[in-house]
A and B are shown apart, each in its own frame.
Chain A
Amino acid sequence: MTAIDIRNLDVWFGVGAERAMAVKDVSFQVADGESFGLVGESGSGKSTILRAIAGLVPTWSGEMKVAGEALGARRSKAFYRKVQMVFQDPYASLHPRQTVDRVLSEAMGLHGVQDIDKRIGQLLDDVGLGAGFRFRYPHQLSGGQRQRVAIARSLACDPSILLLDEPTSALDVSVQAEILNLLTDLREEHKLTYVMVSHDLGVVGHLCERIGVMKEGRFVEVLAVDDMRRRKAKDPYTRHLLDSSINSVR
């Protein structure tokens, strides 16, 4: 079954003469349990697609079907129980005046989860934070720990699809490795479907099976990561990105 089915998606910002197209005629499908990557430079519209799916950008046209539900102007509560998002900057995605406990219990409360106390402990264990972190404020946490809390929040309602918006680009490489490993484990445990946006081909290649390469709001190519590794990219822009990204010393 397809988890996400996007057809002819256009997204724009502004009205009238100032209307700027951010995404132009994009179509792609993501199967259940698959991990799909969106790659492109800043301003290519890759994050905008995620935001449009999540319902944070109301100005779009086209067809979007997520987990069997055709999306309209508004998202239902059931939609948010199936689809959650993790943001780029862990310093901006946690409310500065709320403890980890408050963040998680509110998320669960909104989804009507029973037995909140026990679940919070379980969630914190899942994302590799102990119970000692439960009553801390964001300013008492490091960047990696904050991102773990953000991931825990997105898992609070047991969603089946996670939208990942550059979840590691603000972190140090060693912390990035920990978070990527965590995402790999969670995907296996919770049978999650990922759509991940990143500017780093290495990161996307690590976590995803298929990649959509974006430029100026359009898909230039969709290809399997294995093909990318074997340098089978057809489009010159994809090849250019590949050349810039291969920077290993070994």
Chain B
Amino acid sequence: MAVFNSRDRVIECKLVYYGPGRSGKTTNLEYIFKAGKKYTNSEMVSINTKGDRTLFFDFLPIGLGKIRGCDIKVQLYTVPGQAKYSSTRKLVLKNVDGVVFVADSLQIRRKENFLSLKDLQQNLAEQNMSIFKIPLVIQYNKRDLGEQGIPIMPVEVLERDLNSKLKVPSFEASALKGKGVGDTLKKCLVLTLHHLQKELKWSQ
């Protein structure tokens, strides 16, 4: 849950990048870190294991400056995507304010996308949060691989698989090239801040 320091008028909120293993969550954060150095004084922290797989989490704090009289600080996290790190995902998801679900467009990852979204729903429910109510954006990553002749799913299929009930904003992306990364983050931030504005009743 976001922290609102009413005296100093600072809001700290937490966004988590969720999704199956190797879908590109860390790549999203790496691009944000490289592209948005002016928004952060801190280094990005990644705790990986072999094969550059996220073991615990990635962490990147950014500042958005003042919005409606409040200093907005955002903590970006990724979760480890591999199924076996379920308890870590739960811990990282604790007190989350907004979620970016990074889906893998590769055809061979269709089932993993579905399972990861279901896992997100369950883990949110354990915190008494609903996947239908939390600010959520879906990103269909690795779209560029289609151009290289690798079988990827059409966006319509991904939408049907993952977003037919949720009906949340979704974006095509190629995180490695930075395409769609900014749009995804921006939308999630807008949804989260709008939600927090209602929750915290913060206004100028």
> Do these two chains interact?
no
